[in-house]
A and B are shown apart, each in its own frame.
Chain A
Amino acid sequence: MKKAREKMKTDTNQEVVRLEDVYKIYITGNEEVHALDGVSMTVQKGEFVAIMGPSGSGKSTLLNMIGCLDKPTKGRVFINGVDTSTLTDNELTRLRREAIGFVFQHYNLIPTLTALENVELPMIFRGLNDDERKRRAMELLRIVGLEREMNRKPNELSGGQQQRVGIARALANDPEILLCDEPTGNLDTKSGEIVMEILSKLNRERGVTLIVVTHDPAVSGFARRTVRIRDGRIIEG
């Protein structure tokens, strides 16, 4: 951990995310929807950025673009300096697996797997061996305070607990960037606060770059920078 912080210091000005004039245009019927309308932004290593804006403004689209889940209609997305449009599908998969962690509004845990197994999943995809996987998954569950619930299935956990499992899963392969789309959107204030505490602690102590989409001013309060977006354009930040 100490090492990570040192690394963070030396790389303070390293860009982990860079968007250059990114457009995402959907054509529905004979209408063009500009979900993203020429977005350019950069995120430095170790930053905590909140993305805010009204519903339908393109927040999720932007986040998915950064997470290499979606491809821009126009413009370029760089992750750690690599132009993602030059990568093959397998290389993008690998990037998502090893450099990026996702936390979803609806948790999106795999219902057939226990909490522990859900956390193991990204490590299985990475090909980690059984022992190491289990050990690490348990440690992550301990960090989010769920070591006692590790053998429960998602439907045996509360929303807040499921989201914490989701965070542990996002951390499984020790990513540099954590992307959270309304991580507290489905939670009550108390559970939302616990989740935000965990996330900001990860940012502070481990130097994880955090990009959080939210409607909630309380959530953006944790962030060091807030990017405001409207109609697919950045209007502030």
Chain B
Amino acid sequence: MYLELAKRNLIRTKMRSILAIIGIVIGVMAISSIGIFGEGLKNTVLENFRDVANEVIITPSYSGGYTTIEKTSLSKLEKVPYLESIIPVKSESALIQYKDRKTYVRIYGMERRSVEELFEIERGSSKLSGTCVVGSTLAERLNLRVGSKITIEGELFRVSAILKEEGARFDINPDNTLILSEKDYDDLFKTEGYSMILVKLENLDDIEQFKETVEKSINSRETKVRVFEMKTIIERITEAFNQINLFLIAIAGVSLLVAGVSILNIMLMSTMERTKEIGVMRAVGASRQTIMRIFLYEALLLGLIGSIMGGILSLLGGYFIMIAILQSAKYLFTISSLISILQGVSFGVVTAVISGFYPAFKASKLEPIDALRYE
């Protein structure tokens, strides 16, 4: 019944209530759609890393004076039982020539199965023996095709395959590189150690144990290698995005604050206008708490209506921002969107109730006789 009373009072000052609701709608919409967009952005970025969370990158410890990882270190790693795969990689920068064009590129030396495991092939076959595999950007730059002949350090290599474009990637980005078999690479550059080892763990939980093993078996006397977990990197990115998101939501929150002030304002007006009514209710037996409740219900109703509408509309808002900035709305209907909406809705409701609190308190504090006398 108090709710009914609150509803009728809101209808009595319809225009005012609508304006207050619009304020809340806008505030909630801003918060929720930015939340939805932020989560979408994060997911879009993280999607490149999702299947590499169990990857560990081992690099030489440059600060320890090592530029390569020794073969003995590799054989020690190969003895660790719980690894899904282990991919040793050599790399060097070198001048290559195709027809009359010369350019410096990064050259990797690795086994054929490693290439297949790490990358996707766009055209050709990954056969590596006196031949090479090139990344998409490099192929485009030099106008390479499967079968083109490239000169590397004076030796001639035929292109056996061109890789798919990869985009952002933390371990090895092959787009602008050239890959040789380990044997061809060794013949060309005569290097001993590896410049990087990519390790995949069977189970993410083994990561601490693995790091310990590396410390004990390889780094026991001096720091020869460093271990980077993708998991940490992904966590860092996630954290950074969460912070950006929070910041954006806080900015959007200002609009909700404004809505809150407008609710405060209209409810103060209502308490003034209804002073006499408050007096009558006190006279016929309403306690201070009851008066407070009636006014808080009004704020709650404004908040609920506005927030729910805002929450629904924020799906639309999120959709448009995603289309405009990410060119895709595939992350619109996700759990995190739902959480963003619920978050916005609860912020809206809480703001409304907090704003209603002071007017409600003021109304409840009126002395019955003063309220009754009020004209």
| A interface residues with partner B (beta carbon < 8 Å) | 64, 67, 69-70, 89-90, 93-94, 96-98, 101-102, 104, 108, 110-113, 120-122, 124-126, 169-170, 172-173
Q: Dominant SS at the A interface?
A: helix
With A69-B369, A112-B5, A125-B290 known as contacts, the answer to whether A169 contacts B285 (CB < 8 A) is no
List, in ascending order, chain A residues with CB within 8 A of B45's CB: none
Contact of A169 among B5, B11, B284, B288 (CB under 8 A): B284
Cα A5 to Cα B136 in complex, Å, equals 104
Q: What is the distance, in angstroms, from B344's C-beta to the closest C-beta of chain A? A: 31
A-facing mask of B310-352, CB < 8 A → 1, else 0? 0000000000000000000000000000000000000000000
Q: What is the distance, in angstroms, from B273's C-beta to the closest C-beta of chain A? A: 11
Contact of A110 among B2, B281, B282, B287 (CB under 8 A): B281
Contact of A125 among B8, B287, B368 (CB under 8 A): B287
Tell me whether B285 and A108 are in contact (CB under 8 A): no
Tell me whether A89 and B372 are in contact (CB under 8 A): no
List, in ascending order, chain A residues with CB within 8 A of B114's CB: none
List, in ascending order, chain A residues with CB within 8 A of B15's CB: none
Contact of A93 among B9, B286, B372 (CB under 8 A): B286
Besides the known contacts A113-B5, A125-B290, 7 further A-B residue pairs in the complex with CB atoms under 8 A apart: A64-B372, A69-B372, A93-B288, A104-B280, A110-B277, A110-B281, A112-B9
With A89-B288, A112-B5, A126-B285 known as contacts, the answer to whether A70 contacts B369 (CB < 8 A) is yes
Instruction: With CB as the reference atom, state the residue of chain A lying closest to B10.
Output: A112
List, in ascending order, chain B residues with CB within 8 A of A108's CB: 276, 280, 283, 372
List, in ascending order, chain B residues with CB within 8 A of A67's CB: 283
| Contact-residue size bin, chain B (C-beta under 8 Å from the other chain) | 20 to 34
Cα A44 to Cα B1 in complex, Å, equals 37
Most buried by B among A67, A89, A112, A120: A112
Q: What is the distance, in angstroms, from A219's C-beta to the closest C-beta of chain B? A: 21
Contact of B280 among A94, A110, A120 (CB under 8 A): A110
Is the C-beta of B99 less than 8 angstroms from some C-beta in chain A?
A: no
A-facing residues in B355-375 (Cβ within 8 Å): 368-369, 372
Instruction: With CB as the reference atom, state the residue of chain A lying closest to B287.
Output: A93
Contact of A97 among B8, B285, B288 (CB under 8 A): B285
Cα A125 to Cα B285 in complex, Å, equals 6
Cα A70 to Cα B283 in complex, Å, equals 10
Contact of B368 among A69, A98, A121, A126 (CB under 8 A): A69
Q: What is the distance, in angstroms, from A142's C-beta to the closest C-beta of chain B? A: 20
Is the C-beta of B221 less than 8 angstroms from some C-beta in chain A?
A: no
List, in ascending order, chain B residues with CB within 8 A of A121's CB: 281, 284
